[in-house]
Structure 1
Amino acid sequence: MKIMIVEDEALLALELELEVEAAGHVVVGTAASRKAAFDIIESSTPEFAFVDVHLSDGPSGIEIGRRLAEREVPFVFVTGNVKRIPEGFVGAIGAIEKPYTMNGLQNALSYISEKVTGDQTISPPPGLILAKSFQRQNDAS
């Protein structure tokens, strides 16, 4: 999968990039701001994204999530405060709460990869908070 990372903390972005690549995926871009994320969305057409809610230019991760949802790009929020995500998760599959473990991240990435490629039988791992709309889809399958 071609994955975009939106994270303003350089060390977390690098760790996430390494985990994504170790799992066999390609990182098409890393953004620390709304503008940089919009540029990646336009130029690289990601197939999935990890989006931090609060970036260097404020809580612009929500706007990025809306843009991804408009383009039908699946994504999850990665945040230290899940309560900052609006009800309905603006189209996100769900959220991974910081601090996360690398094992938890790998499990979430495996689940997301399977769901995006069409496996409807896999169960969500602990640590991945599903959006209610996605939970209903998951329960129906």
Structure 2
Amino acid sequence: MRTLIVEDEMLLALELESEVEASGHQVIGVASDFAEAVKLVDDAMPEFAFVDIQLRDGPTGIDIGRHLASKGIPFIFVSGNLKRIPHDFVGAVGAIEKPYTVNGLQNALSYVHELLAGAGSPVPPPSLIVLNTTAPAEHESGAERNSVAAG
């Protein structure tokens, strides 16, 4: 899976890149702000992305998520502050809370890979917080998300 990483903390970006590659996927680029991310999305057309919310130029990860969603590219938010994610997840597959575990990250990657491969309806791993699509949007609250602790 051709993966984009949007993360402004270089040590975290390098760690994430290493884990993505160790899982057998290709990292097509690392962006630390909105302009870099949009350029990589438009030029390299990743198949998937990990997106931090707070970047070098502020909380622009949400806007990057909207851009990815408009192009039909699945993504997962990776953030230390999941409360910043809008209730509709702006089209994200889900979210992983920092600090995450290597196992949790790899399980989320496997889940996304299964989704993209059309493997039916895989069960989200405990490390991945997903939008509860069974609750009506007007009644949805943060408590109705799959908020199992990162594993």
Does TM-score exceed 0.5, indicating one fold?
Answer: yes
Does 1:90 find its partner at 2:94? no
What are the residue-to-residue correspondences of 1:41-120 with 2, within 5 Å?
A: 41-120=41-120
Identity across matched positions, percent: 59
Q: Contact 1:94–1:134 at 8 Å: present in 2 too?
A: no
Q: Which residue number corresponds to residue 39 of structure 2? A: 39
**The 10-residue stretch of structure 1 (93-102 or 116-125) with the greater mean CA deviation from structure 2:** 116-125
Distance 2:71 2:133 in 1: 18
**How much does 1:116 deviate?**
1.4
**The 10-residue stretch of structure 1 (55-64 or 117-126) with the greater mean CA deviation from structure 2:** 117-126
Distance 2:44 2:134 in 1: 25
Q: Report Cα offsets for 1:14-69 as digits up to 9, x if no partner.
A: 01101111111111110000000001011100000000011010000000000000
TM-score by length of structure 2 reads 0.86
Q: Whose helix fraction is larger, Structure 1's or Structure 2's? A: 1
Q: Which protein is bigger by CA-based radius of gyration?
A: 2
Aligned length, in residue pairs? 136
Q: Contact 1:88–1:133 at 8 Å: present in 2 too?
A: no
Structure 1 stretches of 5 or more lacking a match?
Answer: 136-141
Query: Which 4+ stretches in 1 moved above 3 angstroms?
Result: none
**How much does 1:121 deviate?**
3.9
Q: Which residue number corresponds to residue 138 of structure 1? A: none
Distance 1:49 1:134 in 2: 25
**How much does 1:120 deviate?**
1.8
**How much does 1:131 deviate?**
1.9
TM-score by length of structure 1 reads 0.92
Which SS does the other structure have where 2:4 is aligned?
strand
**How much does 1:134 deviate?**
9.2
